[in-house]
Structure 1
Amino acid sequence: MKKSFVLFVLFILPLVVYLFFASGVNNFGKLATLTEKVNGLNGRPSSITLNDKITILGFLGNDLDNKKGHAFNLNQKIYKRFYEFDDFQFVMVVPEGVEEKTVGLRKELGALSDTGKWNFIFMQEQDIAELFGSLNTNLSLDESLSTPYVFIIDKDRNLRGRDDDEDVGTKYGFDATSVADLNNKMVDDVKIILAEYRLALKKNTTRKLMQGER
């Protein structure tokens, strides 16, 4: 009896504890789907798409000079950390007519990092308003068609976020003016969604290998 108890403590109990915490990660380590099927992108260049990409979506508006701080914060805290992951991209929506300003901003960002996955898409004002509206958040665009908040869009064009945030309840986006919000919340949430897709890819690969062995 004593020997059995010792074996249980040494081998079985640690396994039970591990399975308990592992199941907790699987059950709770996912971002909530807050809005399904946000609008696609209707702008230039037409090659930029939200489909099959993990996207950080932002709205910089037409006053880019006053939004550089937002872009630099996002670049340093989020983009540089994650841009090497497959299918990850930044998409910044700007109105038509400010193309030259984005060239200057991209050049400044390029001095700090590889900007290959920084995308600017130029859209008509009505299309910008409709895209933002399709997110179905409690936030709004200002008169320049910008917001300091950025959003996580998954590969199926769903808005992902938190439905139980300790500060705001439902957290639709992340404030690019707040280094604390980017560091303490957005970094974690981007890690979660990337891990979610990596896990799905591993499961799919394993399933294909097992089917191939039959």
Structure 2
Amino acid sequence: MKKNIVLFVLFVLPIVAYLFFATGVNGFTKLPVITPKVNDFGDWKSLDGKKVTLNNKITVLGFGGSDILENRGNLFNLNQKIYQRYHTFKDVQFVMICPLGTENDVKSIMDALDEFTDLAQWSFVFATPQQINSYHAQLKLVGKLDTNSGTPDVYILDKERNLRGRKKVKDYKEGYSTFSPAELSNEMLDDFKVILYEYRAALKKNHNATKQL
């Protein structure tokens, strides 16, 4: 009897667990669209002078605000909890929109991150506070920017520039607080994995799976 129990635990349970989790993954519902087709950046300048676009990229989008240097801990949280896991994925980018005049502050932060991070997928674009507030308004979110044209929240956009999140009333989630490492490690990481799985599944279905995702 004991032998049968041991065999069951060693061989049957792992198979049952695998089938359970495999079914769970394949049964994932897509992360809902909160705001469809948000605007791209146009001619806004980036820190390195290169054009930054939301097209054909899974984007983590944030608004740094004029006090970005004071709140640099939020960026470090995001960098450690999310960016470090996925910065090697070529289809993923992290973009922060910041007010003109904060370029030196951003460079200081990037220099600090550069000591332990590959910054290839980090981008910063700059615009006037009026342009930033207008851009955020078209996202049609419940959360608002503060008086410095910033927010600790970051948002997930898919390759078609749709802002994704959770739409259920009891579990509504349009953005993820970089002030909270726990929220980044739990809610955001879970939702980010769902987005990545969507694209992986689509690539496999089309027999085009790549190492980018």
Gaps of 5+ in 1: 1-13, 207-214
Residue of structure 2 in register with 1:48 after alignment: 52
2:201 equivalent to 1:199: yes
Say which SS state the counterpart of residue 85 (structure 1) adopts.
Answer: coil
Residue of structure 2 in register with 1:185 after alignment: 187
Which amino acid in 2 is paired with 1:82?
Y
Please give the TM-score of this superposition, normalised by the length of structure 1: 0.82
Q: What's the offset of the Cα at 1:180?
A: 1.0
Distance 2:185 2:142 in 1: 22
2:30 equivalent to 1:30: yes
Distance 2:140 2:164 in 1: 12
Distance 1:125 1:158 in 2: 23
Which amino acid in 1 is paired with 2:64?
L
User: What are the equivalent positions in structure 2 for 1:55-66 lying under 5 Å apart?
Assistant: 55-66=59-70
Output one character per residue of 1:182-214: Cα deviation in whole Å (capped at 9) or x when no partner. 0111111111111111111111226xxxxxxxx
Residue of structure 2 in register with 1:103 after alignment: 107
Q: What's the offset of the Cα at 1:27?
A: 4.1
Residue of structure 1 in register with 2:172 after alignment: 170
Which amino acid in 2 is paired with 1:89?
Q
| Cα RMSD after superposing both structures | 2.2
| Contact in 2 for aligned 1:83/1:117 (Cα 8 Å) | yes
Q: What's the offset of the Cα at 1:24?
A: 5.0
| Contact in 1 for aligned 2:28/2:194 (Cα 8 Å) | no
Output one character per residue of 1:81-103: Cα deviation in whole Å (capped at 9) or x when no partner. 11111210000000111111111
**Quick one: structure 1 residues 116 and 126, their matched pair in 2 at CA, closer, same or farther if it must change by over 3 Å?**
same
Q: Per residue, is there more helix in 1 or in 2?
A: 1
Distance 1:21 1:81 in 2: 22
The aligned length equals 190
Q: What's the offset of the Cα at 1:30?
A: 2.1
**Quick one: structure 1 residues 113 and 21, their matched pair in 2 at CA, closer, same or farther if it must change by over 3 Å?**
closer
Say which SS state the counterpart of residue 28 (structure 1) adopts.
Answer: coil
Residue of structure 2 in register with 1:70 after alignment: 74
Gaps of 5+ in 2: 1-14, 209-213
Residue of structure 2 in register with 1:158 after alignment: 162
The structure whose Rg is larger is: 1
2:134 equivalent to 1:130: yes
Residue of structure 1 in register with 2:144 after alignment: 140
Distance 2:148 2:164 in 1: 25
Residue of structure 2 in register with 1:9 after alignment: none
| Contact in 1 for aligned 2:69/2:106 (Cα 8 Å) | no
Output one character per residue of 1:146-184: Cα deviation in whole Å (capped at 9) or x when no partner. 00100000000000111237xx53200000001110011
Distance 1:136 1:47 in 2: 25
Output one character per residue of 1:10-60: Cα deviation in whole Å (capped at 9) or x when no partner. xxxx99x94x87565444342111110111113113610111100000001
| Contact in 2 for aligned 1:40/1:131 (Cα 8 Å) | no
